[in-house]
Amino acid sequence: MALPRSRFLLIFLVHILAHICRSPATSLNSTFLFNRFSPSDLNLSDSATVTRTGALSLTNGHLATNPGIKGHAFYPAILQFKKPPGAKKTKSFSTCFVFEIVSQFPESGGHGFAFVLAPATNFSQATGGSYLGLFNGENNGNPANHVFAVEFDTVQQEKMNDKDGNHVGIDVNGANSSFSKPATYYTEFGKKEKVVLDSQTSIQAWIEYDGQGKQLNVTIAPLSHPLKPNRSLISYSIDLSPVLLEHMYVGFSAGIQKLESKHYILAWRFPMDGNAPELDLSRLPSIPRDRTPLWKSFKLFLFISAALVALLFLIFKVGISYLTKRKRKLTSEKIEGWEMDYPHRLPYKKIYRATKGFKEELGKGGFGSVYKGVLPRSRIEVAVKKVSHCSKQGMREFVAEVSILRRMRHRNLVQLHGWCRRGEDLLLVYEFMQNGSLDSHLFGTKGSRLSWEQRFKILKGIALGLLYLHEEWEQVVVHRDVKASNVLLDGDLNGRLGDFGLARLYDHGTNPKTTHVVGSLGYMAPELSRTSKSTTSSD
């Protein structure tokens, strides 16, 4: 039974509509103009996005979280590049756009971007970096790609036939440039000027293809030079008929791998076989600048690091200078006239080194502290008594001890190796007594170690020392402070009398003069409080 004519027409229209829906959308209008973008204006893929201000960002993201970034933005409708259908000759076209590249490091960007004519918009198998998000290692250079691109590259790679790291190149079916030139423009006076593609300044580009004459012209200029230069950067003879299919998509692609770069398209116009209105440069969108560009952050980091290093170096130098001056001050000595009369004066620096900066303290008393040391050259062990300015022993007692001990030599007297005065500190350098003072053995933890035989030996030694002081030396020396803490014991437990700060001298055969009562309570002779005369008997 024959179908009604109306039903037959309905089925025929459904088939036609289905066929149309399966076919790619072809733009009836092959001319368009964008002074700023909205997401609905373009077919965006991968990392491409439109900023709030209306700028197209091709490489949006960070390599730290997304290694190998690529982005694509195409005009959503496919355009007819050959007419009539089936013809081999490619139509003429031209385009103009404004772009800006912000690199992590100026003049050392993370690859550039490309203006692209392609039969499809799916580049999921492509890689970033030198392949610009359009190709990969396997299909690079394959004639079946039918891709034409003009690259604006910021990295030099010899394998891609790049002239330098700041160039414009012509790519056919691959990222290997058929022809390229360093990025420059000509002023109105014909002077050639360099254009740094990743200088973070807006740059305008013009790409024009003459299908009849098979000639491609590429021109660039900074936005500060708004008029198109009269002379093109690239004038290249090429027949795009074997490359371009009848229907092609037009757009942009970018990809980065090692160094980060941001690629922005601010405005774009594309007329086919005709002229489109000029771009309104006064309406260009701004790119995001709320954060400091990466290269500026790194530059700031380098500046701050250099400043910190310089500051630390300055602090180090000031510190070294301060410590040197302090050390010199510590070891400096101002010698007064009276000191020239007493030999065996040791340099403070020598004593300081011998005691390793007064580190090993042997004991402390009312006069100050005693430190162990070793004289540098002779390697003799010594005990250094450091008398502070606030001690009970003053300058008079110090001079008395130096004047007495420097002239006496006896096996039962502590030998004085030398002395020193630095500022208000008075230093006496004695022979080191391995077993310390007698009171530490009698009243300290060592009390049980001394036998009666040893005690008698010590008493005998002190008696011999007093005999030498009272009768055998050229003058009578009254010690005036004989007590257990002033008796020192050598390695063989021989008693040595020390601390002559309170000693008095007078000639043999004369009587001692009346003086202030001095000495240690509990050790002084009872008659001293009545006579105020220190004699050999009171010792």
428 and 440 together in one domain: no
179 and 259 together in one domain: yes
Answer yes or no: 481 catalytic.
yes
- 386 is an annotated ligand-binding site residue: yes
444 and 381 together in one domain: no
Run means of pLDDT, 10 residues per run, the chain, 539 residues: 52 45 50 93 94 92 68 95 81 95 70 94 88 91 95 84 86 93 92 91 95 95 90 96 94 86 94 80 84 58 86 90 74 52 73 88 77 86 78 65 76 85 81 87 70 90 88 83 86 85 76 64 69 74
Q: Is residue 11 assigned to a domain?
A: no
DSSP letters for 315-326:
HHHHHHHHHHHH
416 and 455 together in one domain: no
pLDDT in the model for residue 299: 66
428 and 449 together in one domain: no
Q: Is residue 9 assigned to a domain?
A: no
460 and 360 together in one domain: no
Q: What is the CATH number of the domain that holds 61?
A: 2.60.120.200
390 and 354 together in one domain: yes
Q: Which of 265, 297, 329 is the last residue of a domain?
A: 297
83 and 64 together in one domain: yes
Q: Is residue 315 assigned to a domain?
A: no
Q: Is residue 344 assigned to a domain?
A: yes
pLDDT in the model for residue 45: 93
Q: Which of 378, 407, 432 is the last residue of a domain?
A: 432
What residues make up the domain containing 146? 23-280+292-297
Q: What is the CATH number of the domain that holds 386?
A: 3.30.200.20
Q: Which of 382, 415, 432 is the last residue of a domain?
A: 432
Q: How many structural domains comprise the chain?
A: 3
Residues 114 and 252 sit within 8 Å (Cβ to Cβ) = yes
Q: What is the CATH number of the domain that holds 520?
A: 1.10.510.10
40 Cβ neighbours under 8 A, 6+ residues apart: none
Express each pLDDT in 355-368 by its tens digit: 888 888 888 766 77
Determine phi and psi for 183, rounding to 5 degrees. Answer: -70, 115
Distance from C-alpha of 399 to C-alpha of 468, rounded to nearest angstrom: 21
Q: Is residue 309 assigned to a domain?
A: no
Q: Is residue 318 assigned to a domain?
A: no
502 and 365 together in one domain: no
412 and 449 together in one domain: no
Where does residue 380 rank: exposed (0-12), middle (13-18), buried (19+ CB within 10 A)?
middle
Q: Is residue 67 assigned to a domain?
A: yes
344 and 471 together in one domain: no
How are beta strands 234-237 and 215-222 bridged, if at all? antiparallel
94 Cβ neighbours under 8 A, 6+ residues apart: 206, 207, 208, 209, 270, 271
Catalytic site residue from 198, 481, 499, 539 = 481
Distance from C-alpha of 413 to C-alpha of 82, rounded to nearest angstrom: 122
Express each pLDDT in 507-531 by its tens digit: 777 776 656 556 666 667 777 767 7
Q: Is residue 72 assigned to a domain?
A: yes
Mean pLDDT of the chain: 82
414 and 402 together in one domain: yes
